[in-house]
Amino acid sequence: MINAIGNAFTIISGEGAGIWTASAVNLHLITGLPIGTYIMAFGIFNIIANQLLIRHFDWLRLCEEFSYILCFSYLIDLVTNLFHHWHFQDASVGVRIMMALFGVTLFCIGISLYQRANLFMHPNDDMSNILRFKYCHHSAVLSQFLDMAIPILILIACASYQGRIYAVNIGTVYSFLGNGVLIGLADRIICPRLVHNFNARDRVH
């Protein structure tokens, strides 16, 4: 829920969404399909990629992550529509910038909490968690940059097609540069007794 609300704040602000959300917004504007549909499609891609990254088939992980994206993708649409009904999009530029920065910070806190719990998380955040601890020497910053490579390519393709790019602004830059740092800070500051909890099924064979 924290993650969905944070993403909704970035979308409604119009001052830059997180990099994956921004790519979904641009695809939505090109095709007319709901943003939630693309967020779900990205989630399915992440589910498949995670199975490849851990190098063995994990049925439980697959089911958990698919269940998550079914709820999460439409929850973002629901919260964004609610914020739109409350006219958050009509706020001043300064307030909307604050909403974007707050939204990014909020979803980074949410990512930190459920990555540490390691129980039930969005497949994209599971991907960055796998990258962080199995391939990036525990670096939250490096794993986030690697995770963002695909949505950046999508944004470049959308910009080429549309002649301009949407939902990329100060919030996107803040997310691109700060996600790893914010998650790392939240690991230490928000519920610090909650440590990263890996179990046998996280091992890469």
Residue 190 has pLDDT above 60, yes or no: yes
The CB density around residue 14, as the number of other CB atoms within 10 Å, is 20
Residue where the block lists tokens 């391939």: 135
Question: Contact at 8 Å (CB) between 39 and 78?
Answer: no
Amino acid identity for residue 201 in this structure? R
pLDDT at position 193, please? Answer: 83
Q: What is the pTM of this model?
A: 0.78
Q: Which two tokens stand for residue 202?
A: 């996280």
Nearest to 43 by CA among 29, 16, 61: 61
Residue 165 has pLDDT above 60, yes or no: yes
pLDDT band at 204 (very low <50, low <70, confident <90, very high): very low
Residues found in the chain: 205
Nearest to 64 by CA among 7, 134, 126: 126
* Residue 2 burial class via C-beta count within 10 angstroms: exposed 0-12, middle 13-18, buried 19 and up: middle
Cα angle 133-189-176, degrees, rounded to a multiple of 5:
60
Interval 92-111: pLDDT, tens: 999 999 999 999 999 999 98
Residue 201 has pLDDT above 80, yes or no: no
pLDDT at position 72, please? Answer: 81
- CB-based contacts of 30: which residues, under 8 Å, 6+ apart? 158, 161, 162
Interval 128-152: pLDDT, tens: 889 988 899 888 889 888 999 999 9
Question: Contact at 8 Å (CB) between 151 and 25?
Answer: no
Q: How far is CA 191 from the centre of its chain?
A: 21
pLDDT at position 202, please? Answer: 55
Distance CA 167, CA 69 (A): 22
